[in-house]
Amino acid sequence: MKSGVSGWVLAVGFALGLAPKAARADVTHVVGKGHTVEAIAHRYHVPVKAILDANHLKANTPLKIGETLTIPGVTASKSDATGNAKGAKTAGANGAGAHGKSGSSSKEAAKPVVYAMRPKTPGIVHATRLATSESFSIKIADKKTKVAPNALKSFERMMRSSGNLSHPIEPRLVALVGVVSNHFGSRPLQIISGFRPYAPTQHTSHSNHNIGHAIDFRIVGVPNEVVRDYCRTLRNVGVGYYPNSTFVHLDVRETSTFWIDFSKPGETPRYNSPNVDADKGTSDVAEDAHGMESTPMPPATPTAPPDLPAPNEENDAAGDLLNSAAAGTTTLPAEAPDSGAAPPSN
């Protein structure tokens, strides 16, 4: 190969699937909170049985946080893309070849991508309702650190059902969306689904979507896995992750819970464990609101680690409100605006 071809070009070749079969090797994966064998297998595109056999595990063996698993037959570039340290080193070595440039390229490949950053517009949510392509910029708090009535009305409109039915949105959910927006630097949100009236065909007898307590969304330029993991740090919330779909589910409730649904849109839910307190399945979301084909996820842009202020250093009106929402409490307005829509009877 000519000297003009550098190591990173080879790395691109691996990422595009052009590497020879000899590049497939075993890599390691460190088990984190909420990881399951099924989720790990989906992440690396290997069979569940292959992971079980490689690690001498039985099908129902629970995984321990911090445990190291061998993932057999993974292309080096895939492990590198997931941030696996051993995979990054393997990709760096393959990329260097005979050019002797493995030092800088492998270090660059090993740098973590940081998505958290100082908000550009603190306390203001920028969002697009995918079903109608409407754009919203909503200021969450008023000067008294309460969820502003105008914000509640704007969220009610933004999160109306596909049939244009609306319902008051829980103020704490509005505040939490502001928390998430602030954490990811005021990046635009894409709203997949909000309020949905009760339907006999929904997969749960009661859904927080039915009462304005839930939202399905994604953030432009941020992987759903990153959004999921941050939402799980919030208190008294339900977080749903759908590896084969396009959004993260967030709702407010009395006790936090988390679930994974491996189904695709239109399929019966396939949860990661039995009796999970899941809110609903992906097939409950109207196909016209999904935006899976028409609105692909934009590529992520790496950012440098920000100099984020501690929560008690927030000095704007929205700061105290959003901090209390993240902690599980919210200062609510004296009276939420009435949309005239009664809650559905389940």
Residue 2 has pLDDT above 80, yes or no: no
Contacts of 262 (CB under 8 A, 6+ apart): 38, 42, 242, 243, 244, 270, 271, 272
DSSP, residue by residue, 198-219 = --TTSSSSS-GGGGT-EEEEEE
| Amino acid 24: pLDDT | 54
Map out the domains of the chain with their CATH numbers: 7-110 (3.10.350.10), 124-326 (no CATH)
Please say whether the beta carbons of 215 and 136 come within 8 A: no
Nearest to 101 by CA among 13, 5, 23: 5
147 backbone dihedrals φ, ψ, rounded to 5° = -65, 120
pLDDT band at 167 (very low <50, low <70, confident <90, very high): very high
Displacement of CA 208 from its chain's centroid (Å): 18
| Amino acid 266: pLDDT | 75
| Amino acid 21: pLDDT | 44
List beta partners, residue 238: 251, 257
| Amino acid 230: pLDDT | 96
| Amino acid 231: pLDDT | 96
Cα(233)–Cα(228) distance, rounded to whole angstroms? 9
pLDDT digit string, tens, across residues 177-226: 999 999 999 999 999 999 999 988 888 888 999 999 999 999 999 999 99
Stronger pLDDT, 180 or 266, i.e. the higher one: 180
Please say whether the beta carbons of 28 and 84 come within 8 A: yes
| Amino acid 76: pLDDT | 47
pLDDT digit string, tens, across residues 100-125: 444 445 555 556 788 999 999 999 99
Q: Of 152-156, 277-281, 340-344, which range is least confident?
A: 340-344
pLDDT digit string, tens, across residues 43-60: 888 888 888 888 888 887
Stronger pLDDT, 99 or 69, i.e. the higher one: 69
| Percentage of the residues of the chain whose pLDDT score is greater than 90 | 36
Q: What is the largest CA-CA distance in the chain?
A: 72
Cα(265)–Cα(192) distance, rounded to whole angstroms? 13
